[in-house]
Amino acid sequence: MISAKGLFGRAIDAHDGHIGSLHDLYFDDQGWTIRYLVIDTAKWLPGRKVLISPEATLQPWHGEGALPVKLTKDQIKSSPDIDTAQPISRKAERLLYTHYGWIPYWAAPGVPAPPPLPPAGAASAEERREAAEEAESASEPRLRSIREVLGYHLLATDGEIGHIEDLVLDDNTSRILFVIVNLGEWLSRKRVLLSPRLISKIDWASSKVVTEASRQAVKTSPEYERPA
């Protein structure tokens, strides 16, 4: 299991060199599945953050050193320029999946991957502009930033209790296994693990995560202990 916060800042390496560091993770707030790694390309592509699917990461990866991805620097450089500060539209996602030849996660089982675009200049300037413009309009509302949800208050059936401190991912960074709740109680500073199945809603307007559990049930959830 891997801490989401522990992955932030992790170096990301392509087949042919370093490309940047992990800035954020986008997840589906219904299936609690990681859909994208947000890579800050820093000095390599100044001012640009790129999206990479978890399926592009090399497995197995046990957390040591940089996180390697099965892509080249040219593939990443020529990928659709999507503004990660805006909601991500399905059209922008289609451009991204077509560019890399990935099988869309929303496609029916058995659907073949779209043919990848040519590596050199794969996404034209016009296609990249379209992706950016589309991201500002019709969006996929289930995609959310982990950085954004950290710190949200937890609303139980009988009142608020603590806040979201971190998320625990599986070893291939594709699923959220647990939500780490800091109960915020004076002296104890207890942290517990809550299953995403108990989360009924994320209220982005009020910055609250709503659970179907009571305060007492949350308090008696399995305690989380930081790795030594």
- Cis bond leading into 68, ω under 30°? no
Total Cβ atoms within 10 A of residue 157? 14
Average per-residue pLDDT in the chain?
Answer: 85
Q: In whole angstroms, what is the distance from residue 92 CA to residue 127 CA?
A: 9
Percent of the chain with pLDDT over 70: 80
Q: Outline where the chain has alpha helix (H).
A: 4-7, 73-77, 90-100, 125-135, 146-149, 215-219
Q: What pLDDT is recorded for position 173? A: 77
Q: In whole angstroms, what is the distance from residue 7 CA to residue 32 CA?
A: 17
Q: What pLDDT is recorded for position 1? A: 83
**pLDDT tens-digit map of 160-191:** 999 999 999 987 778 999 999 999 875 467 99
Of 1-5, 9-13, 128-132, 217-221, the poorest mean pLDDT is in: 128-132
Domains of the chain: 2-145 (2.30.30.240), 150-219 (2.30.30.240)
**Which structure tokens are listed for 137?**
């309009």
**pLDDT tens-digit map of 102-156:** 989 887 565 565 565 555 444 566 665 565 555 444 444 578 899 999 999 999 9
When pLDDT is cut at 50, 70 and 90, the band that residue 16 belongs to is very high
Output 153 or 63, whichever has higher pLDDT.
153
